[in-house]
Amino acid sequence: MPADRAALPPTAPGDVHCIYQDADLLVLDKPAGLLCVPGRGPDKQDCLSARAQALWPDALVVHRLDQATSGLVVMARSQAVQRALGQAFAAQQVDKRYHAWVHGSMQPPAGEDGWGEIDAPLAADWPNRPRQQVDWQNGKPSRTLWRVLAHDARQPATLLELRPLTGRTHQLRVHLAHVGHPILGDALYAGAAVQALAPRLLLHACALALAHPATDQPMLWLSHTQLRVHRAPVP
């Protein structure tokens, strides 16, 4: 298991916070607001992959986080490792964990392990792209596990640990909005009052575990970035 270091967000364009590297892969801690890959237009060329490739020219994209989401991203350093990691993600052999502050007071579900599940199929909301939606007829199966970590005593907000069992676009954001607890600061799926409770989307990829593609050794990486809820009361 690699040692992880305290996560400090980049402070200037071109900065990359790498928490682990070896000859086969990199694990980077992406700040909120940074694209994972280039977008369309000259103003969308600064991204995590470009910053990484400036330091590690062999860095290859394996998976992505939403621009608004912060946290851990793994990159491969060869095409063979890229294929192996891509297959691991597709086969759901990568354990991804997130922290999120959501609106409202969510109570732990019944059961000894403290985990609840949101099982709702998702599909693109074509007239309103890039939004996604729950679609019981045409959506793809989508499952998210969740558990309560803490409540904010000053306002109705709950800190959750989330474990997506599938990897649909905006899955965590749509699922939580669907059950009536949108993520604070979510500009796509929360109303104006909930958006105003945070200066950013309070969703962070906090842990990543997988078998190393070269050695098959179990690996676990943790981010120490803390999500901080805004203290303004809910209107």
Residue 203 belongs to some domain of the structure = yes
Instruction: Give 6 or 104, the one with higher predicted confidence.
Output: 104
Least reliable range by pLDDT among 38-47, 64-73, 217-226: 38-47
Pairing between strand 143-152 and 116-119? Answer: antiparallel
SS3 content of the chain, % helix, strand, coil (to 5): 15, 30, 50
69 found inside a domain: yes
CA separation for the pair 214, 212 (Å, rounded): 6
Amino acid at 49: S
Q: Is 235 a domain residue?
A: no
Share of the chain above pLDDT 90, in %: 81
Structure token digits, residue 148: 């309560």
The mean pLDDT of 200-222, rounded to a whole number, is 97
Of 4, 66, 95, 125, catalytic = 66
At 148 the three-state DSSP class reads: strand
Q: Is the pTM of this model over 0.85?
A: yes
Alpha-carbon gap, residue 73 to 51, rounded angstroms: 13
3-state secondary structure at position 194: helix
Q: Are strands 218-222 and 122-124 parallel, antiparallel or unpaired?
A: unpaired
Contact 144, 117 (CB under 8 A): yes
Q: Which domain holds residue 66?
A: 18-222
176 within a domain of the structure (yes/no):
yes
- Residue 194, domain member (yes or no): yes
Kindly report, residue by residue over 150-166, the tens digit of the pLDDT.
Answer: 999 888 999 999 999 99
Residue reference for tokens 């679609």: 135
Domain-embedded: residue 11: no
Tokens of 211: 């078998």
Q: Say whether 66 is catalytic.
A: yes
Query: How many CA atoms, within 13 angstroms, populate the side-chain half-sphere of residue 17?
Result: 22
User: Which domain CATH number covers 25?
Assistant: 3.30.2350.10
Q: Report residue 124 CA to chain centroid gap.
A: 19
Residues in a beta bridge with 145: 117, 163
Asked whether residue 227 is assigned to any structural domain, the reply reads: no
pLDDT tens track for 64-101: 999 999 999 999 999 999 999 999 999 999 999 999 99
Give the pair of three-digit tokens for residue 91.
């086969």
Residue type for 180, please?
G
Number of separate domains in the chain:
1
DSSP state string for 32-77: TT-BSS--SSGGG--BHHHHHHHH-TT-EE-----TT-EEEEEEES
d(CA 4, CA 14): 21
> 4-8, 104-108, 155-159, 178-182: which has the minimum mean pLDDT?
4-8
CA distance 108 to 7: 29
